[in-house]
């Protein structure tokens, strides 16, 4: 892959393109894009996102971007429910895999009442470009292909960029270049590697 900083600059340029902002010329596909990157570059990507947003707003004051960190959303849920301490106790009595199953059940992942999807629906201002971060931090609770499938009916008029620490090729997501997340053929690569 090319250096991540170079690819982030290219992404910034693409985000100023009116066709991309308006979700046109995508052949009736949803405007979902995956910015895949080397897992070792995750901290660089996290650091550059706020700077990129500032630079985009300077170039186009009308641009609006909302960042959703999956890990932060999960923490918010468990803090609201006062489940954090309970989760620690479950993990110490059982094991991490059992805890992850219980956490997924509580979040209602991949159901009609998926809390993360509902949170997007409530918090997204409908005119903003959506940046999704924290994919690696939220693994294995949230799977990218499941989240993207469930967000399609909600986020259809504006672009969505998923920052992905891994590889996205031929519709396959490989988190950390190690775990096959499954097929998600509807997204476009944000920039070529």
3-state SS, the chain, equals CCCHHHHHHHHHHHHCCHHHHCCCCCCCCCCEEEEEECHHHHHHHHHHHHHHHHHHHHHCCCCCEEEEEHHHHHHHHHHHCCCHHHHHHHHHHCCHHHHHHHHHHHHCCCCCCCHHHHHHHHHCCCCCEEEEECHHHHCCCCCHHHHHHHHCCCCCCCCEEEEEEEEEECCEEEECCCEEEEECCCCEECCCC
Q: What is the pLDDT of residues 32-83, one digit of tens each?
A: 999 999 999 999 999 999 999 999 999 999 999 999 999 999 999 999 999 8
Taking 80 as the threshold, does the pLDDT of residue 184 lie above it? no
Taking 70 as the threshold, does the pLDDT of residue 24 lie above it? no
Q: What is the pLDDT of residues 116-174, one digit of tens each?
A: 999 999 999 998 999 999 999 999 899 898 899 999 989 888 899 999 999 998 888 88
In this predicted structure, what is the pLDDT of residue 156? 82
Q: What is the pLDDT of residues 11-22, one digit of tens each?
A: 999 999 887 777
Mean pLDDT of 4-30: 83
In this predicted structure, what is the pLDDT of residue 22? 74
In this predicted structure, what is the pLDDT of residue 27? 62
Taking 70 as the threshold, does the pLDDT of residue 28 lie above it? no
In this predicted structure, what is the pLDDT of residue 178? 86
In this predicted structure, what is the pLDDT of residue 190? 93
Taking 60 as the threshold, does the pLDDT of residue 25 lie above it? no
């Amino acid at each position: 892959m090319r250096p991540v900083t170079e690819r982030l600059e290219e992404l910034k340029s693409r985000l100023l393109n009116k066709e991309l902002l308006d979700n046109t010329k995508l052949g009736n596909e949803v405007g979902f894009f995956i910015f895949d990157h080397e897992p070792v570059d995750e901290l660089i990507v996290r650091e550059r996102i706020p700077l990129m947003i500032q630079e985009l707003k300077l170039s186009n004051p009308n641009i609006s971007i909302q960042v959703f960190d999956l890990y932060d959303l999960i923490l918010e849920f468990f803090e609201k429910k006062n489940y954090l301490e309970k989760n620690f106790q479950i993990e110490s009595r059982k094991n991490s895999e059992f805890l992850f199953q219980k956490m997924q059940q509580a979040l209602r992942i991949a159901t009609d009442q998926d809390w993360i999807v509902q949170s997007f629906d409530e918090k997204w201002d409908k005119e903003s470009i959506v940046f999704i971060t924290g994919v690696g931090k939220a693994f294995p609770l949230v799977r990218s292909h499941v989240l993207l499938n469930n967000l399609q009916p909600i986020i259809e008029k504006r672009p969505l960029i998923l920052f992905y620490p891994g590889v996205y090729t031929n519709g396959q997501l490989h988190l950390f270049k190690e775990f096959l997340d499954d097929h998600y053929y509807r997204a476009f690569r944000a920039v070529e590697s």
